[in-house]
């Protein structure tokens, strides 16, 4: 479980997050949704520790992350996997080397054990045919899958995904969404996904938090979202003509 309480964050005097309090549950795919510039990426990066909140507390299970020192935070970070919008694979390393990197740095496993673990993760994301390829040789979907493999290689307890579907076609997006959801359930991890893709929301949104102008505007499930009585949320959810027609039916 990840919980944040009364989070404020501002940049150069401009407040981006305003008093955000929310609990993300274990074993579920928790979605943060909102328009571009609403503050959802800042919220995700604050939760993961890339930004320091101005005020408020963040808990990883029962541990208050914001109260921890550098070393203790580092220990928690080893339990975190993150999938970035562009994949953020190391350009100069192959897929295999990218996935193996956390094992090299943080485990004392033998080369054979590491190879076995990397091969398992690559197989899990259906990328066992491409360990020798460099990121520049991969398609968008393959980059995301390699990033997922790297994120899960150390058996994380928390998984963060920043717009995992951006730049992907609808079919590949569903594959990535389902992969994240199945990994979340399989390993019982706390997954937080940042997205503005309504397909993802309806496909895997077990808990949804809607951020608007830096405030938590709404939270609920994918079943609640279609009938929510919230103008800004409805404007966001039913922005496309197709969604409006679907609602009309």
Partner 1 sequence: MKILAAFGRYIILMGKVFSRPEKWSIYYRRVISEMDQLGVGSIPLTAIISVFIGAVITIQMAITLESPFIPQFMIGYATKETMILEFSSTVIAIILAGKVGSNIASEIGTMRITEQIDALEIMGVNSAAYLILPKIIATMIFFPFLAAFSMIVGMFGGFLVARMGVMIPNDYIDGLLYYFDSYEIFYSLVKMTVFAFLITSISGYYGYYTKGNSLEVGKASTTAVVVSSIMIMIFNLLLTQLMR
Give the footprint of partner 1 on this chain (CB under 8 A): 45, 48-50, 74-75, 77-78, 80, 82, 84-86, 88-92, 101-102, 104-106, 160
8 A C-beta contact, residue 135 and residue 89? yes
Longest Cα–Cα distance of the chain, Å, equals 59
DSSP, res 63: E
Give me the least distance between CB of 32 and partner 1, in Å please.
17
Nearer to partner 1, 85 or 213 (CB): 85
CA pair distance 197, 234, nearest whole angstrom:
14
CA distances to 2, 179, 197 from 24, rounded to whole Å, are 5, 19, 19
Name residues whose C-beta falls within 8 Å of residue 47's C-beta, 6 or more positions apart in sequence: 2, 4, 58, 160, 192
Nearer to partner 1, 156 or 205 (CB): 156
Give me the least distance between CB of 78 and partner 1, in Å please.
5
Nearer to partner 1, 105 or 241 (CB): 105
Give me the least distance between CB of 87 and partner 1, in Å please.
8
CA pair distance 205, 108, nearest whole angstrom:
37
Give me the least distance between CB of 38 and partner 1, in Å please.
19
Nearer to partner 1, 1 or 101 (CB): 101
């Amino acid at each position: 479980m990840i919980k944040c309480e009364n989070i404020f964050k501002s940049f150069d005097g401009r407040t981006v997050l305003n008093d955000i309090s929310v609990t993300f549950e274990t074993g579920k795919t928790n979605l943060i949704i909102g328009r571009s510039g609403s503050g959802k990426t800042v919220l995700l990066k604050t939760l993961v520790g890339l930004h320091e909140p101005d005020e408020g507390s963040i808990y990883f299970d029962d541990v208050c992350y914001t109260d921890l020192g550098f070393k203790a935070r580092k220990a928690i970070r080893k339990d975190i996997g993150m999938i970035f919008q562009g994949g953020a694979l190391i350009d100069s390393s192959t897929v295999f080397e990218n996935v193996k990197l956390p094992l090299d740095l943080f485990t004392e496993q033998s080369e054979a054990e590491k190879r076995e673990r990397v091969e398992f993760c690559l197989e899990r994301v259906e990328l066992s045919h491409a360990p020798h390829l460099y990121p520049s040789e991969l398609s968008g979907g393959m980059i995301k899958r390699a990033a997922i493999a790297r994120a899960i290689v150390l058996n994380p307890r928390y998984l963060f995904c920043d717009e995992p579907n951006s730049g992907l076609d609808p079919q590949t997006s569903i594959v990535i969404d389902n992969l994240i959801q199945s990994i979340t359930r399989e390993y019982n991890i706390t997954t937080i996904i940042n997205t503005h893709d309504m397909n993802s929301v309806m496909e895997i949104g077990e808990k949804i938090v809607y951020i608007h102008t830096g405030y938590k505007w709404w939270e609920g499930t994918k079943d609640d979202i279609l009938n929510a009585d919230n103008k800004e949320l409805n404007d966001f959810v039913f922005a496309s003509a197709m969604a409006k027609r679907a609602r009309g039916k």
